Amino acid sequence: MKVPMLDFIYYPVSAVLWLWHTAFASVLGASSGLAWVLAIIFLVLTLRALLIRPFMAQLRFQRTLARIAPEMKEIQRKYADDKEQQVIEVRRLQQEHSFNPLLGFLPMIGQILVFIGLFHVLNSFHAGTTNYVFSTEQVQSFLNAHLFGAPLSASLAHAGGAAPGSLAAVVIPLVVIAAVATHYTARYSVARQREMAPETPQTRVMNLLSMWAFPLGTLVTGALWPIAILLYFVTQNAWTFVQQHLVYRRFGAETPVP
């Protein structure tokens, strides 16, 4: 369902997808399924590249949090019976270290908005209509696009006339890859967080959710997602996995992030 207030997300996502498809279609042909596959992959790479700076800000957030964690615990102990003063002291400590809790959520918010935009744009390809910057001819080209014989717009729940066998042969491996990649990406991130700061009961719950509940949710709901969305998830997790290894290897836990 379209949310008009998110047009500021839908149109840029559609435009970037259009640019990449136009580029690949000029080489592979407008009706090429591979042109659409590559367009989706490079859309994800483009948008994730734009989120590198928020990701680096998140690293700064994590390291600052690890640095001030002992002082925050001392404030909580010292002012356990005075919540108002506790809040004042925590804010003072955060200001001293230029600590902004919102920075820790920027990459997540960005990725959620990108996913919502991409999901809506890909679900808005309907025969005989335009789709944001896409013409009716381009919309039909997407609807006719296949990956190993399975339509990019189809899912196990909505086969759209595709042969169940060929559809399952594409969807099931993509769902499994997406779920496994989600688990190992979260596992690596959690391991780094534990090195930088002690695990609290709240973060432990979130860590367990990210490592097990989210991958399981991918397996369970994967049948509902079009192949194009599954391609997004696989590319997204591949980028995150590589990004984590490169960045964490480049910057040690004690080395300030530039």
Residues 253, 132 share a domain: no
Q: What tens digit of pLDDT does each residue of 212-243 get?
A: 988 898 888 887 889 999 999 899 888 888 88
Both 21 and 118 in one domain: the answer is: yes
Residues 57 and 120 in one domain: yes
Asked whether residue 120 falls in the same domain as residue 162, the answer is no
Of 140, 162, 124, 107, nearest to 36 by C-alpha is 140
Looking at the structure, do residues 10 and 131 belong to the same domain, yes or no? yes
Same domain membership, residue 155 and residue 133: no
Nearest to 142 by CA among 221, 4, 133: 133
Do 168 and 225 reside in the same domain of the chain? yes
**What pLDDT is stored for residue 235 in this prediction?**
92
4-18, 50-64, 78-92: segment of lowest average pLDDT? 50-64
What is the band of 257 on the pLDDT scale with cuts at 50, 70, 90?
A: very low
Tell whether 23 and 62 lie within a shared domain: yes
- Given 144, 173, 189, the domain boundary residue is 144
Question: In terms of domains, do 85 and 125 share one?
Answer: yes
Domain count, the chain: 2
Comparing 231 with 98, which gets the higher pLDDT? Answer: 231
Instruction: Provide the residue range defining the domain that includes 113.
Output: 1-144
Do 40 and 137 sit in the same domain of this protein?
yes
Q: Give the residue from 77, 111, 144 where a domain finishes.
A: 144
pLDDT at 39 over 90: yes
101 and 210 both lie in a single domain: no
Burial of 70 (0-12, 13-18, 19+ CB in 10 A): exposed
Last residue of a domain, one of 90, 120, 144: 144
Does the pLDDT of residue 97 top 80, yes or no?
Answer: no
- Per-residue model confidence as pLDDT tens digits over 108-143: 777 788 888 888 998 889 888 999 999 999 999 999
- Whole-angstrom distance, CA of residue 51 vs CA of residue 130: 29
The DSSP code sequence of 195-219 is: HHSPPPHHHHHHHHIIIIIHHHHHH
Q: Contacts for 86-93 with beta carbons within 8 Å, 24 or more apart?
A: 93/68
Asked whether residue 139 falls in the same domain as residue 161, the answer is: no
